[in-house]
Amino acid sequence: MEKSAASTEPQGPRPVLGRDSVQVPDDQDFRSFRSECEAEAGWNLTYSKAGVSVWVQAVEMDRTLHKIKCRMECRDVPAETLYDVLHDIEYRKKWDSNVIETFDIARLTVNADVGYYSWRCPKPLKNRDVITLRSWLPMGTDYIIMNYSVKHPKYPPRKDLVRAVSIQTGYLIQSTGPKSCVITYLAQVDPKGSLPKWVVNKSSQFLAPKAMKKMYKACVKYPEWKQKHQPHFKPWLHPEQSPLPSLALSELSVQHADSLENIDESAVAESREERMGSAGGEGSDDDTSLT
């Protein structure tokens, strides 16, 4: 990679979408994201079981979308395998039972691209989609992948889907040994529609552990799968392999949540099961929609 992280000393959080223009995250952004993943102050533990923990950032319950942080210990998955699984879009189509369509759109730099992802939500909710600018950074035996929502002129919101907004979403993968690692998932996502904020906040706390556990199972099976599917093709590690067309940042703009229409989903019942499934399309034990 041509980009390298500088000091990993704690820095104050700098949300990517605090900017008005689209930019590829720089070293300070990566340091800030790592610092927030590792921070303890201001986070409330809401779940801890079987090596998976969930924290929620303390904010007003009804008015603000929570930031959620989910951490999982992977005792028999190397950090580099987990990093590959999060990048490998073809494998994603195999293990992510919620995916409708996902593809990379264009390349911005050697460690940043733009992509599309749509996923199923439980009825009567509408399915969701998102366009994100994703960037990544290997740091020795640790890795960061993070994204935020952007507008692309060729992929406007569709009438059959609700355009969701990733305010900031990402992963910090930290190696703990030759065959073990810890992954931290940090996210603030607005699924749009007309879902009450409390429903989104509450459901995300239940869904994140299930999604992480499914991803872990996918990681265990990945080496065998990859050996049969272009084992040496890893453009996230070897940029020269990327088949994507280049795209100028000037073609993109920041996707703010308040600029999108709130689709009426008032028919949604208030049962516990449907509330839990409403925020991210993860309505069953087999579902996951980490983006």
Can you give the pLDDT at residue 12?
A: 38
Task: Decide if pLDDT at 6 tops 90.
Answer: no
Task: Decide if pLDDT at 257 tops 50.
Answer: yes
Of 125-139, 204-218, 243-257, the poorest mean pLDDT is in: 204-218
Whole-angstrom distance, CA of residue 211 vs CA of residue 207: 6
Nearest CA to 189 out of 70, 291, 85 is that of 291
Question: What is the pLDDT confidence band of residue 266, given thresholds at 50, 70 and 90?
Answer: low
The percent of residues in the chain predicted with pLDDT above 90, rounded, is: 60
Question: What residues have CB less than 8 Å from 250, skipping those under 6 apart?
Answer: none
Distances (CA, A) of 61 to 44, 58, 67, 198, 258: 13, 8, 11, 6, 19
Q: Give the chain's domains with CATH numbers.
A: 27-254 (3.30.530.20)
Distances (CA, A) of 198 to 42, 145, 288: 19, 27, 20
Return the exposure string of 124-142: e unless at least 16 CB atoms fall within 10 Å of the residue's CB, then b. Answer: ebbbbbbbbbbbbbbbeeb
